[in-house]
Amino acid sequence: MILQGQDWLEAAATRRVMAALEAAGGPGCARFVGGCVRNALIGQPVDDVDIATTLTPEQTDQAIRAAGLKSVPTGLAHGTVTAIADHRPFEITTLRRDVSTDGRNATVAFTDDWAEDAARRDFRLNALYADAGGGVFDPTGEGVADALAGRIVFVGDPGTRIREDYLRILRFFRFFAWYGRGEPDAKGLAACADLAPGMTRLSAERVSKELMKLLTAPDPGPAMAAMDAAGVLGRILPEGRLSPAFAEMVRLSQDPVLRLMILVSADAAVTAGVSRRLRLSNRIRDRLAAAATAATEVDLSMTQPRLRAAVYRHGGQAVADVLLRRGAEQPGEAPAARRLREMAEGWAPPRLPVGGRDLARLGVPPGPETGRLLKAFEAGWIADDFPEAGHAARLEALVREGRG
């Protein structure tokens, strides 16, 4: 089988990198590996081009430099060097075999045996190689068939592969979400369920990264259902609950943050616990927190003044997120949710039109009284739907009331 019509394969940068490696190790010393080969076979976009080679990391580094390309030693201990050609990175890894593993990290030895390298990979559809001309090599004998049929099958014994790295449990479901069709592989699913307790060895960052990648899939629903049935979802997200609202959110939005949001209750304490345990990025943490706080004020029956008040207090993003959630929870009210969401996203909250200087001109000295009066003004201004005039008179009245 020959890969054809692949821009990345014909690109000048790709050819320069492969030529550099073959100049040092001879024809066939380097092959494309993994996702780029898999995606090319099934007609999916290729984002990253990874290369496997029989050259040692030191030889790879020397070959890249000798060709006038930039070489970055991104993981020499594990055999990885990154070549930069035409501003594009190519991750190049020496063929490896595992010497020992602890479920998280592996001690490896370098090899020149392509079958040994394939045997340590996670799934058969990822253990695919292609030479510089696009000729495909399938050491397991099933990788091409799996890729074309949408089967996610472990290389060799599923339990052995998982014990080498328990993250492969989550990768099983993530790859099924992206590339799987039909039912998940029964042996792989059973192994994931049996060995799920071992995921306690994984860092929160690794878990959350896999979960977010899974939720980014066009339709993560079947994979999430399988993960839930296997008891894996409950281990990584005990607050999570699959519901019809999740399926509706998948239909409404491709945003993985919204898909995560609908899995847990709209409660600030619960959301904070999820963000802390999964060590979510600050951006995701803050977005979840803002939506959970805004949820107490947002519903599909709200008037435009109430909507604007909520946007002023919590921000348009938070209110729009909650409204999308409400639309997923109440599909019959989707038009109302969409209309309100468009208003929330399209309205720019005005700045508070008065400040401490205005109060100073009225004889109020800086201090607690200034803060109290500004809060009182703001509350009335919001309640009256942000009037554009009459600010001075309103402020003067508040000052008189305070002195009376």
Which pLDDT belongs to residue 155?
A: 97
Which residue matches tokens 């090319």? 40
Which residues on neighbouring strands pair with residue 33, listed in sequence order? 129
Q: What is the pLDDT of residues 65-79, one digit of tens each?
A: 999 999 998 877 778
Q: Which two tokens stand for residue 142?
A: 């099933």
1-149: CATH topology: Beta Polymerase; domain 2 (3.30.460)
Which pLDDT belongs to residue 76?
A: 72
Residues near 399 by Cβ (< 8 Å), separated by ≥ 6? 359, 362, 363, 364, 373
User: What distance, in Å, lies between the first and last C-alpha atoms of the chain?
Assistant: 90
Nearest to 143 by CA among 32, 213, 222, 41: 41
Residues near 27 by Cβ (< 8 Å), separated by ≥ 6? none
Q: Does residue 127 contact residue 65 with C-beta atoms inside 8 Å? A: no
Residue 231 — left, alpha, or beta (φ > 0 → left; ψ -120 to 50 → alpha)? left
Which pLDDT belongs to residue 77?
A: 72
Residue ranges of alpha helices (H) inside 26-157 are 35-42, 57-66, 114-119, 143-149
Within a 10 A sphere around the Cβ of 194, how many other Cβ atoms?
14
**107: phi then psi, degrees, rounded to nearest 5:** -95, 125
Residue 154 — left, alpha, or beta (φ > 0 → left; ψ -120 to 50 → alpha)? beta
Nearest to 120 by CA among 95, 153, 147: 95
For the segment(s) 239-349, the CATH number from 3.90.1690, 1.20.58, 2.40.50, 3.40.1350 is: 1.20.58
Q: Which two tokens stand for residue 116?
A: 């040994």
Q: What is the domain partition of the chain in residue ranges?
A: 1-149, 158-236, 239-349, 356-403
The pTM of the full predicted model, rounded to 2 decimals, is: 0.89
Handedness of CA 17, 19, 25, 29 (dihedral sign): positive
Which pLDDT belongs to residue 4?
A: 85
Mind listing the pLDDT tens digit of every residue in the chain (404 residues)?
889 889 999 999 999 999 999 999 999 999 999 999 999 999 999 999 999 999 999 999 999 999 999 999 887 777 899 999 999 999 999 999 876 666 566 677 899 999 999 999 999 999 999 999 999 999 999 999 999 999 999 999 999 999 999 999 999 999 999 999 999 999 999 999 999 999 999 999 999 999 999 999 999 999 999 999 999 999 999 999 999 999 999 999 999 999 999 999 999 999 999 999 999 999 999 999 999 999 999 999 999 999 999 999 999 999 999 999 999 999 988 889 999 999 999 999 999 999 999 999 999 999 999 999 999 999 999 999 999 999 999 999 998 887 76
Which residue matches tokens 């109440």? 330
Which pLDDT belongs to residue 103?
A: 59
Please give the radius of gyration of the chain, using alpha carbons only, rounded to the nearest integer.
28
* The residue type at 382: I
Taking each continuous run of H as one helix and of E as one strand, the counts in the chain are 22, 9
**269: phi then psi, degrees, rounded to nearest 5:** -70, -40
For the segment(s) 158-236, the CATH number from 1.10.10.60, 3.40.50.720, 1.10.3090.10, 2.30.30.240 is: 1.10.3090.10
Q: Which two tokens stand for residue 313?
A: 């207090």
Written as one string, the DSSP assignment of 232-289 is HHHHH-TT----HHHHHHHHH---HHHHHHTTS-S-HHHHHHHHHHHT--HHHHHHHH
Which pLDDT belongs to residue 100?
A: 61
Centroid of chain to Cα 182: 24
Report the alpha-carbon distance of residue 140 to residue 124 in Å, rounded. Answer: 7
Residues near 108 by Cβ (< 8 Å), separated by ≥ 6? 78, 79, 96, 97, 98, 99
Report the alpha-carbon distance of residue 364 to residue 236 in Å, rounded. Answer: 55
